Amino acid sequence: MDNSDNRPDAAIPKNLDGNASTLDRVRADLFEKLKNGDISDTALKSRAAVQGQQKLALSFFGGEVIVDLESTSVYYKSGATGNGRQSSRELDVFSSAIILHYLINADGTDLCGEWISYRELPGGMFYFRTIPGVLEPVLAKYKNSAGDLVKRIEESGGHRSGDFNNGAVMYPFVNFPVLVIMEEESEEFEASLRVLFDRNGSHYIKIDVVKMILVYLVKILVNSK
């Protein structure tokens, strides 16, 4: 499924601590590390696919992206154009940095299927109080329509949870799922929203970048399709 039209673009860094120039430096450093590594080993550990000599293909929020080590670019794969060539759209620096981080940190550990909160992830105690503010736009939009939230996640390459009512799983990456659970507003209780992570997710994404992924996730869920 190609959901590239629903993805945040260049304006996203304004939602982050830091600035675009910092992300540019981070992006360049991550590309250098990938170039100096074993591309086959990186693909194996991250569940990416090697294309040619210097390209990796992987899923990012349900859309296929290409990481080109030779041109140091990251772009969405799209269908063939009328002249037989592939049309593509390059990702913004924020999105590229997340993808490169995943490829660098992936160590191939199997997911365990046990869901934990953000603050239970390694280092999460330092940041967890900021997470409700990040999620607020989703809570405000779906506080009376949890079913619509589940449907939106399914449209973005995820699936309904079999274990939680009004829950659905999104896939920033194949090996980094995020479970989103909404409790609707009622006469007795305010609406609430939780995000949970596989206990082994830290083998793929470090805690500061998890917050970046949540910013991305929120953008997708609050945008109209």
- Total count of residues recorded for the chain: 225
Question: Which tokens in the block code for residue 161?
Answer: 């949870």
The pLDDT value recorded for residue 84 is 37
Question: Which tokens in the block code for residue 143?
Answer: 């506080």
CA distance 64 to 222: 21
pLDDT in tens, 1-60: 444 443 433 334 344 444 567 788 889 999 999 999 999 999 999 999 999 889 999 999
Instruction: Report the share of the chain in percent with pLDDT over 90.
Output: 68
Q: Are strands 49-51 and 86-90 parallel, antiparallel or unpaired?
A: unpaired
pLDDT in tens, 79-110: 433 333 444 688 988 899 999 999 999 999 99
The pTM score is: 0.84
Q: Give all strands of the β-sheet with 159-160 in edge-to-edge order.
A: 115-116, 192-198, 176-183, 167-173, 159-160
